[in-house]
Amino acid sequence: MSTDEIVVEHLTKQYKRLRAVDDLSFSVRAGRVTGFLGPNGAGKTTTLRMLLGLVTPTAGQATFGGTRYAELADPIKHVGAVLEASSAHRGRTGRNHLRMICRAAGLPDSRADEVLTIVGLTPAANRKFKGYSLGMRQRLGIAAALLGDPRVLILDEPANGLDPEGIRWMRDLLKALAAEGRTVLVSSHLLGEMQLLADDVVIVAAGKLIRQGPVDDVLGTMGTGAHVRVRTPQPAELKAALSELNATATEQTDGSLMVVGAEAAAIGHAAFAASVELHELATERGDLEQVFLQLTAGKAGIR
Amino acid sequence: MSLSLVNAELFKVRTTSIWWVLGIVLVPLYAASVLVNWAQFAAGQPDEGLSDTQSAQIEAALEPVNVATTLYTSGQFFGVLIVVLLGAIIVTSEFFHLTATTTFLTTPRRESVILAKFGAAVVIGLLVWLITTVLNLIVVPLIMNQLDVPAQLGTAAVWRAIGLNALAFGLWAILGVGVGVLIRSQIAATLVLAITYVVGTQAIGLIFFLLSEWVAEWFNKLQVIVPTTASQLMISGTELPGNPPRWVGAAVLIGYAAVTGVLGTLITKRRDIS
Ligand SMILES: Nc1ncnc2c1ncn2[C@@H]1O[C@H](COP(=O)(O)OP(=O)(O)OP(=O)(O)O)[C@@H](O)[C@H]1O
Ligand SMILES: [Mg+2]
């Protein structure tokens, strides 16, 4: 098993009265971006902290292809992590924060300046952390994660506080890193963003696994896979024409039709042949947010 | 102990304001210590009406060699206070500023981190020792001259006291780190250390005095288990009458440093970082 793969097996964390993570098993493949989703308090952060050796599991284990984080030969050079609470000393400059990590990890100081450039923080490098905005703090965290040029990236809500331009930048960065064959695990609540970013998803609620798999599969099994939205002043005629294609059209509350079972081109052709007027014809991917809410219904809520 | 980790810990101290803040605090405290020591010896002979042991102790303390060892180790009390506080802060600031996550991600072997912190604290302790000692070697001969006592820089006892003073700084540094691990809250750790160090010595001294007066004389000999008393005993020039030998002071301090050190490391290894 490659140490690029994240393997979580029967992972459990029992706090005094609360089972934050409950017999959780899933795996994360290299070369893809995996979204780690779940309602507030689902146990995502706790899982990531156990994976990184910061919190001791009550049972089970979370490893990099069988190797625990603390047993990795050069942890910083293998795994880069941005955690929710990752923070720096208020009175230390961003550059010195990174240099401090370099020194402990045996990396050259120059690496700090390189990652500062990557995350676009060079102009603020010599300013103290207390003067950083939320987005700048997040970027410093990402910079720290990139220091060791790691094979595996773990990010806990990295989009927090980033502006739209910053979110796009991060999306491109993570996609590029995954395209290089690295493993990328990202937790987030921004489901729209996740739909654009993730190849796979792991959905948890109340400490348990709800669903794992490629985004399209997860969307598909919930009946909100790819579909075509059609708007027409003659819905009855169109439905009749579509029934010959073995496609089903369901009326939506906004007056449009949701067609499943036929490509946009085939629908357009059928409408043309039946002389049905079309005002809109658009292929839509399933909606991750809707699926997420269905899957976690009744399991959300603060515990 | 990995030297690069000690280097990283020293870098952490160097890149925040804590070192010069404590440095500035130390300057007037050091000056005051020198002046108080000077005034004490300038005042001269003991009063009447003291017990035999007490007057013997004071007489012994006024022997030139003991005047010398006291003066040449001036600044120990406050220097050690600063070092012990810094030792604790090296640990507590990781939790206060939430940098523990970064630190333990970079070095997941937590005992290595704590060991490096011990190392860094000892380096800082020795640095403060070096600075106070150099200042003492410059200032004290002038004072001795004024007191009509020979400078005694050729006396073995003086250099032994200076050497043991270094040991005291190093041991207290370790103790500070250990306490920082045991009491994770920055404010609590520094307050507890400062109060027990400054007031506690007197308070415990009083308790021992009362116990020895009312219960049994030998309680007085137990005073040496108070860490500050132990380090003062360690640097005395001659064996003072009625006191345990110097090595007992060293042993007591080493004991405290070892216990807090080992306990601190074990606790840090187990604790969840969240
Ligand atoms: N140290 C702790 N002691 C007690 N309970 C804890 C501790 N840490 C986390 N919990 C509890 O465990 C549960 C899971 O928390 P966790 O932070 O892992 O959730 P999360 O999925 O990251 O949530 P969010 O999306 O809000 O970040 C929560 O109910 C939380 O209160
Ligand atoms: Mg979380």
Domain extents for chain B? 3-45+52-270
Mean pLDDT of A80-95: 88
Task: State how far the Cα of A286 lies from the Cα of A221, in Å rounded to an integer.
Answer: 10
Task: State how far the Cα of A289 lies from the Cα of B5, in Å rounded to an integer.
Answer: 45
Sheet holding A280-284, edge to edge: A248-251, A257-260, A227-231, A280-284
DSSP string across B121-167: HHHHHHHHHHHHHHHHHHHHHHHHHHHT----TT-HHHHHHHHHHHH
Q: A24: closest CA among A6, A47, A5?
A: A47
CB-ligand 1 contact for A11 (6 Å cutoff): no
Same domain, A191 and A43: yes
ipTM of the complex, rounded to two decimals: 0.84
Sheet holding A59-64, edge to edge: A19-28, A6-14, A59-64
Q: Which pLDDT value is given to residue A262?
A: 83
Q: Which positions in chain B touch A106 (Cβ < 8 Å)?
A: 4
Asked whether residue A10 is assigned to any structural domain, the reply reads: yes
Same domain, A127 and A202: yes
Assign B150 a pLDDT band (cuts: 50, 70, 90).
confident
b/e sequence B224-258, b meaning 16+ C-beta within 10 Å: bebbbbbbbbbbbbeebeebbebebbbebbeebbe
Asked whether residue A294 is assigned to any structural domain, the reply reads: no
Asked whether residue A154 is assigned to any structural domain, the reply reads: yes
Most confident among A77-81, A189-193, A232-236, B98-102 (mean pLDDT): A77-81
How many angstroms separate the alpha carbon of residue A85 from the centre of ligand 1?
12
Same domain, A135 and A36: yes
Q: How many CA atoms lie within 13 A of B8 on its CB side?
A: 29
Same domain, A140 and A201: yes
Assign B236 a pLDDT band (cuts: 50, 70, 90).
low
Q: How deeply is B7 buried, as exposed, middle or buried, from its count of CB atoms within 10 A (0-12, 13-18, 19+)?
A: middle
Domain extent, residue A271, equals: 227-284
Task: State how far the Cα of A79 lies from the Cα of A147, in Å rounded to an integer.
Answer: 10
What is the token pair recorded at A146? 């990139």
Mean pLDDT of B124-140: 94
Do A157 and A188 contact (CB within 8 A), yes or no? yes
CB-ligand 1 contact for A42 (6 Å cutoff): yes
Contact between A55 and B272 using a beta-carbon 8 Å cutoff:
yes
- Of the candidates A45, A83, A104, the beta carbon closest to that of B8 is on A104
What is the token pair recorded at A288? 């991750």
- State the average pLDDT for chain B: 85
Do B116 and B8 contact (CB within 8 A), yes or no? yes
Q: Out of A36-45, A169-178, A246-255, B173-182, which region has the weakest mean confidence (pLDDT)?
A: A246-255
What is the token pair recorded at A172? 């491109």
Assign A301 a pLDDT band (cuts: 50, 70, 90).
low
Same domain, A240 and A194: no
Asked whether residue A297 is assigned to any structural domain, the reply reads: no
The more confident residue out of A297 and A201 is A201
Q: Identify the CATH number of the domain in which residue A242 sits.
A: 3.30.70
Q: What is the pTM of this model?
A: 0.85
The more confident residue out of A107 and B50 is A107
Task: State how far the Cα of B101 lies from the Cα of B81, in Å rounded to an integer.
Answer: 29
Same domain, A161 and A278: no
Same domain, A100 and A40: yes
- pLDDT digit string, tens, across residues A257-269: 888 888 888 899 9
Ligand 1 pocket mutation, candidates A13, A18, A19, A191, criterion most atoms within 8 A of CB: A18
Do A258 and A247 contact (CB within 8 A), yes or no? no
Q: A11: closest CA among A65, A67, A49?
A: A49
- pLDDT digit string, tens, across residues B171-198: 899 999 999 988 889 999 999 999 888 8
Q: How deeply is A165 buried, as exposed, middle or buried, from its count of CB atoms within 10 A (0-12, 13-18, 19+)?
A: exposed
How many angstroms separate the alpha carbon of residue A87 from the centre of ligand 2?
15
CB-ligand 1 contact for A38 (6 Å cutoff): yes
CB-ligand 1 contact for A208 (6 Å cutoff): no
Do B68 and B237 contact (CB within 8 A), yes or no? yes
Asked whether residue A299 is assigned to any structural domain, the reply reads: no
Contact between A85 and B107 using a beta-carbon 8 Å cutoff:
no
What is the percentage of chain A residues whose pLDDT exceeds 70? 95
Q: A86: closest CA among B257, B200, B97?
A: B97
> Residue A250, SS3?
strand
Q: Which positions in chain A touch B109 (Cβ < 8 Å)?
A: 70
- Taking CA atoms, B136 is separated from B37, B131, B132, B165, in Å, by 12, 9, 6, 12
Asked whether residue A291 is assigned to any structural domain, the reply reads: no
> Residue B44, SS3?
coil
Asked whether the predicted pLDDT for residue B136 surpasses 80, the reply is yes
Same domain, A75 and A199: yes
Assign B240 a pLDDT band (cuts: 50, 70, 90).
low
Q: Taking an 8 Å Cβ-Cβ cutoff, which residues of chain A contact chain B?
A: 45-46, 49, 52-56, 69-70, 72, 75-76, 81, 83, 85-93, 96-97, 99-101, 103-106, 144
Contact between A55 and B101 using a beta-carbon 8 Å cutoff:
no
Assign B238 a pLDDT band (cuts: 50, 70, 90).
low
Same domain, A14 and A147: yes
Task: State how far the Cα of B139 lies from the Cα of B71, in Å rounded to an integer.
Answer: 9
Most confident among A20-24, A133-137, B157-161, B258-262 (mean pLDDT): A20-24
Asked whether the predicted pLDDT for residue B81 surpasses 70, the reply is yes
Number of domains present in the structure of chain A: 2
Q: Which pLDDT value is given to residue A251?
A: 86
Residue whose Cα lies nearest atom 27 of ligand 1: it is: A40
Pairing of strands A227-231, A280-284: antiparallel
- pLDDT digit string, tens, across residues B10-66: 999 999 998 999 999 999 999 998 898 888 887 765 555 566 666 666 776 777 787
Q: Which pLDDT value is given to residue A187?
A: 95
What is the percentage of chain B residues whose pLDDT exceeds 90? 34
Name the CA dihedral angle for A225, A226, A232, A238, rounded to a multiple of 10 degrees.
-80
Same domain, A195 and A275: no
What is the token pair recorded at B99? 């940098």
> Residue B214, SS3?
helix
Radius of gyration of chain B (CA): 20
B274 interfacial to chain A (CB closer than 8 Å): yes
Contact between B105 and A76 using a beta-carbon 8 Å cutoff:
yes
